[in-house]
């Protein structure tokens, strides 16, 4: 079911968005060569406890997960492209790390993701990350009253093709509110002018993710981490936005 938020409800979602943005910024500063993924997860968990927030991930157990997730971050490294389960892995120079973080503050959810290189970057990785960020910006620009879900999807797909990447449409954006995942689903490619009309009060997470060499994925033996089928690296960018009469409002902005 599609839920539209009032202006008052959108304002009530701002603290969750600001907290998610704050933690992701701190995580990017904290992540370094020699830091373990489990340390990153505890770093975020401690901030959740201090804020009195609630993780959306710990007890999360959708049909595609082997068991409840059990952590507060998704940490996807290199060819791990989505839903990376934190584990005993120490970050190395040149690792491409994607971090996805979603919490509830005062009953309202915000969801966001960033990708960055730990240590010495490779130009191919930076290009891949920039492509997801450009796709996210293009998609947000189309998230205006009177457009349609297909316009958002088409904007993402166009940027991917411009950079020479193929698009996997199995996982994408979604509605956000009292729960982390709701309607509508927002594929990362599509046809403009199709799908649900965008109305004032719709709050959604838009999340382009691309892989350098393929559009095919498989599930790691951990039952959660999605990896590129050819071993190529992936990147992921995501914001929670509200569609308003004044244009898209980025609730998880890190600017």
- Kindly list the domain boundaries of the chain, sorted by start residue: 7-250
What secondary structure does DSSP assign to 147-188, as a single string?
-BHHHHHHHHHHHHHHHT-----SS-EEE-SSSSSEEEEE-S
Record the pTM: 0.97
- The annotated binding site is made up of 83, 100, 111, 174, 181, 207, 238
Cα(148)–Cα(5) distance, integer angstroms: 18
Give the tens place of pLDDT for each residue, 133-172. Answer: 999 999 999 999 999 999 999 999 999 999 999 999 999 9
- The annotated binding site for a divalent metal cation is made up of 100, 111, 174, 207, 238
Phi, psi at 175, each rounded to 5°? -70, 150
> What tokens appear for 171 in the block?
């996982």
Residues with Cβ < 8 Å from 108, sequence gap 6 or more? 9, 12, 13, 15, 16, 177, 178
CATH architecture of 7-250: Alpha-Beta Complex (3.90)
- Asked whether residue 219 carries a pLDDT value surpassing 90, the answer given is yes
Single out the residue of 167, 171, 153, 166 nearest to residue 64, CA to CA.
Answer: 171
- Asked whether residue 255 carries a pLDDT value surpassing 90, the answer given is no
pLDDT level of residue 21 (50, 70, 90 thresholds):
very high
- The annotated binding site for substrate is made up of 83, 181
């Amino acid at each position: 079911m599609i839920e539209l938020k009032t202006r008052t409800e959108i304002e009530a979602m701002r603290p969750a968005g600001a907290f998610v943005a704050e933690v992701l910024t701190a995580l990017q500063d904290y992540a370094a060569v020699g830091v373990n993924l489990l340390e990153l997860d505890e770093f975020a968990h401690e901030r959740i406890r201090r804020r009195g927030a609630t993780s959306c991930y710990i007890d999360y157990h959708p049909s595609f997960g082997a068991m409840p997730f059990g952590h507060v971050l998704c940490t996807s490294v290199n060819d791990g492209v989505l839903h990376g389960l934190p584990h005993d892995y120490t970050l190395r120079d040149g690792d491409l790390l994607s971090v996805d973080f979603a919490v509830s503050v005062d009953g309202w959810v915000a969801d966001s993701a960033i990708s960055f290189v730990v240590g010495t970057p490779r130009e191919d990785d930076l290009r891949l990350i920039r492509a997801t960020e450009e796709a996210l910006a293009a998609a947000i620009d189309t998230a205006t009253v009177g457009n349609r879900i297909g316009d958002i999807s088409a904007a993402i797909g166009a940027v991917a093709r411009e950079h020479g990447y193929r698009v996997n449409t199995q996982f994408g954006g979604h509605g956000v509110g009292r729960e982390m995942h709701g309607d509508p689903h927002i594929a990362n490619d599509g046809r403009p002018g199709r799908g649900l009309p965008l109305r004032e009060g719709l709050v959604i997470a838009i999340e382009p993710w691309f892989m350098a060499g393929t559009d095919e994925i498989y599930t790691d033996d951990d039952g959660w981490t999605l990896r590129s089928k050819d071993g190529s690296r992936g990147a992921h960018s995501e914001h929670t936005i509200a569609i308003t009469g004044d244009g898209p409002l980025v609730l998880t902005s890190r600017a």
